[in-house]
Structure 1
Amino acid sequence: MLDDQKLKRLNQLAKLKREDKISETELKELAGLREEYLSNFRNTFKNQIKNTKVIDPEGKDVTPDKIKALRNKK
């Protein structure tokens, strides 16, 4: 998870980029922080999907096989 300090820095760098006031070093830092943020987001989302169970109105488990396979992959 991205800590508050890194998230603040990511936002600062993004603002600098929007204002065209960013240096090459800061661009590289922004790219690294962005990748870390996206990686964290993807992992969190994947775990959320793994723990999702779909139930139809009749009470039957209709969770897609792909999600069940991810769950059993552990």
Structure 2
Amino acid sequence: MSEVNNRIAVLRAELKISQQELADAIDVSRKTISTIETGRFTPSVTIALKLAGYFNVAVEEIFSLN
């Protein structure tokens, strides 16, 4: 089975924002951001698109299959 990898922590670090700031910006909980970053939760398409919009990148620049 494929595992979904992501670059959310890297992108957050580049912008110097916290998990809470990102969560507030895309209207999810900080725990959601944390579990996505650690790979324990694969986000819905809606959340993935919100993240891509926030970071102004394509979804494929955030998420990839291992």
| Higher relative contact order (Cα pairs below 8 Å, separated by 6+ residues) | 2
Given the two structures, how large is their TM-score scaled by the length of structure 2?
A: 0.30
Instruction: Give the structure with the higher percent helix.
Output: 1
Instruction: Give the structure with the higher percent strand.
Output: 2
Kindly name which structure, 1 or 2, has the bigger radius of gyration based on alpha carbons: 1
Given the two structures, how large is their TM-score scaled by the length of structure 1?
A: 0.28
